[in-house]
Structure 1
């Protein structure tokens, strides 16, 4: 049973070809090893993607006065749109071919925590590069490094309009302009301390002033602009940062301190437990993770280890609803269809992944806001969302050729977690495709 829980609760599901981790120790050992899914299925980083986004912005302007640019504009637009679907295909393919499923789950968790929405300008079809460069390398390191990489990345700066934040007493600010508190507020409220933590509006404003100067150049790359940075010291949570001359190192220092703050340890320990284990996690589990965070100054492997070592993490009751992305990945993995998605045509990706996710309620790379997607199971098991899941499951089952025997497939998909009722239904199905569809659509497959 423990290996089944390891694969489903802490990974991307069971596989007909890949052995599930035997326990939490093996999950952690795989996570400590090399990133094999990234090596097998590479994804382009920000620097490559933003070049095409910049070209798109240029062509969109030029075609207004030069009709000959229209064809080139359409070509770049088509290429950008194709990348959106390809990113999803490779994300699902990674989840399908790896034994290190927790790494993919952590990637999705932290991408949601440091949410950036696919939108316009520098963020047109580039968010996957932000995930690849800023988040994935730091999934198993210090939270301070992950926090710094995410908060100061061009994608986050663009998403929260940090480039338009001007220090009131900066050389540029004395000629007009205003302070933008978006990034500062999200850093305190969402990225570190949490809603309701011990900070004030004064802390938000002082941090916003400290963050001034953090900006972008015309090529979508990070740039510190001294002429818009607020001079002088700023006090955040009782500590002073900065001086007469603005220094981006002061941003690193405040993020370092926020990463080890007790409120951050408590908030993020609980958030991880909620995501992986239960909407209302065992207080002892959260306390163990919180203690590991404080003892190691936010060493994420220690925090994950505390979670995986706690008995409450291994309840045999499936307490979490799989979000649509989790569900689609688990189905792709268990049916053996996931690997082909890495290089599938855009039309196939749109038909089988992008559109179904939209119908299930989780539009790819477009979270509902900076706070990411909801965790509560009730947000996902809605009449429309559930109908979309069931319809998609039956369609997937119809594509399997040859279709496996449902009596064996129920063990492949769920192992000992399959109920007697589901086993009976799979055995009694009128044909193999119907039986597979029933298993993929079953309540047990919707949970982890």
Structure 2
């Protein structure tokens, strides 16, 4: 099938928005992606280093609270109140970062970039844990994904594997090589979480050709990655393991642990044939079909290998393949994508979203997303959000989508369009006769909008 602008804006973006032209060609989509990241500049979200002072303050306030609790007296309530105030401040920041993420998706001309950022952020899933890191997950895409989304996979892998939120999420800070003094003294032990997830989820895939011995050797190689005082990762040789280590049949490292040995291993794993196949299948599954065309997966696998993981080359192969333009809508929008595409179609102004108060943010976004099965920044585990339609099309999930479609648009401070016009805007000529009739027959605007946003055509891409 040839390029289709309607399919392009829906399957590879967040759907139509009044006043925003759909992509004119795959070349235009790739050229925009290769250009500057205008949405990140327009709706800024900080990186980890930028919020590191907040994280340190949380730790200091927590220490003060624990000390006050041991001592008792009036100081306890003061310390408790100070920590609570900091938590509330960070919750407000987290809400603002969510709205920035939403605005990036709903106003972008370069919507393909925003879809790719969410794809890779889910591929390298992190979850903020504990008092210090609970609200830090938003920094991960800013530091890891957006700078490398049009670069090389190996560079994104390196950035992901050394990011403080990833290291904390997978308990890497507590790991020590089996031959280190810390381990020999019984003060720390080897933690395999990061090594296992890099091999199983981020690169080779669960069916990749690696063994438990590879996981353990790789974990020993990774031991020593830690958080520095400046909010960046640092390598502590005393926590590492005296080498060498054999990972996937190759020897890395020497007696003195070094960060360069970790980077060498990551680069080799990024080039592994199993990595090429795993990334190819995930990309095709996410954008095209839960059961992707085998020729598309093969083409992506070959291009990944031949280009040494050049992501722009990979995207070009995806967009140039006929399977990518099949007219059938094979993918179900995940809840965030469903909500974002609805806000985009309704032409909700960016400043309207950023001005929402705490109550409205909860009612319009946070609570409904949780009911739909996708609470913000809270996937079930390091494997991220499921792709299969059956996970999202459940009685509770559908009920929550319908409820949002009927109620949320009226809660936003926008003039609701005539359903007879909106059905053409939101579905861009893909509406069935049944949906068009229902839109025409609606007694009120909010009912008509709800019908259109609840339609099967709008749920799919």
Fold conserved (TM > 0.5)?
A: yes
Most deviating of 134-143 and 216-225: 216-225
Aligned to 1:348: 360
> What is the deviation of 1:402?
2.9
Q: 1:346 and 1:44, CA in 2 relative to 1: closer, same or farther beyond 3 A? A: farther
SS for the counterpart of 2:317 is helix
Structure 1, unpaired ranges of 5+: none
The 1-side partners of 2:408 and 2:120 are apart by 29
Aligned to 1:205: 216
Runs (4+) of structure 1 moved beyond 6 Å? Answer: none
The 2-side partners of 1:23 and 1:425 are apart by 33
SS for the counterpart of 1:240 is strand
Contact map agreement 2:48 2:231 (CA 8 A) in 1: no
SS for the counterpart of 1:137 is coil
> What is the deviation of 1:220?
5.0
The 2-side partners of 1:122 and 1:246 are apart by 29
Superposed, which structure 2 residues align to 1:101-112 within 5 Å? 101-112=111-122
The 1-side partners of 2:218 and 2:409 are apart by 52
Q: Does 1:232 align with 2:247?
A: no
**1:161 is matched with which residue: 157, 171, 176?**
171
Contact map agreement 2:15 2:345 (CA 8 A) in 1: yes
Q: 1:338 and 1:187, CA in 2 relative to 1: closer, same or farther beyond 3 A? A: farther
Aligned to 2:30: 28
Superposed, which structure 2 residues align to 1:114-133 within 5 Å? 114-133=124-143
Contact map agreement 1:37 1:98 (CA 8 A) in 2: yes
The 1-side partners of 2:414 and 2:125 are apart by 38
The 2-side partners of 1:362 and 1:397 are apart by 20
Question: How many equivalent residue pairs?
Answer: 448
Structure 2, unpaired ranges of 5+: 69-74
The 1-side partners of 2:265 and 2:131 are apart by 29
Aligned to 2:43: 41
The 2-side partners of 1:174 and 1:397 are apart by 61
Q: Does 1:182 align with 2:184?
A: no
Aligned to 2:257: 246
Q: 1:127 and 1:420, CA in 2 relative to 1: closer, same or farther beyond 3 A? A: same
**1:92 is matched with which residue: 94, 102, 107?**
102
Q: 1:288 and 1:342, CA in 2 relative to 1: closer, same or farther beyond 3 A? A: farther
SS for the counterpart of 1:127 is coil
The 1-side partners of 2:311 and 2:135 are apart by 29
The 1-side partners of 2:64 and 2:23 are apart by 55
Structure having greater relative contact order (Cα 8 Å, sep ≥ 6):
1
Q: 1:412 and 1:56, CA in 2 relative to 1: closer, same or farther beyond 3 A? A: same
Aligned to 2:372: 360
After superposition, give the CA deviation of every residue in 1:197-247 in whole Å (9 maximum; x if it has no partner): 111111111101100111124675412111110012111111111011111
The 1-side partners of 2:282 and 2:27 are apart by 21
* Aligned-residue CA RMSD (Å): 1.5
The 2-side partners of 1:338 and 1:288 are apart by 40
Contact map agreement 2:346 2:416 (CA 8 A) in 1: no
> What is the deviation of 1:83?
2.0
> What is the deviation of 1:82?
1.4
Superposition TM-score, scaled by structure 2 size: 0.94
Contact map agreement 2:348 2:414 (CA 8 A) in 1: no
The 1-side partners of 2:125 and 2:349 are apart by 25
Superposition TM-score, scaled by structure 1 size: 0.97
> What is the deviation of 1:172?
2.1
Aligned to 2:72: none
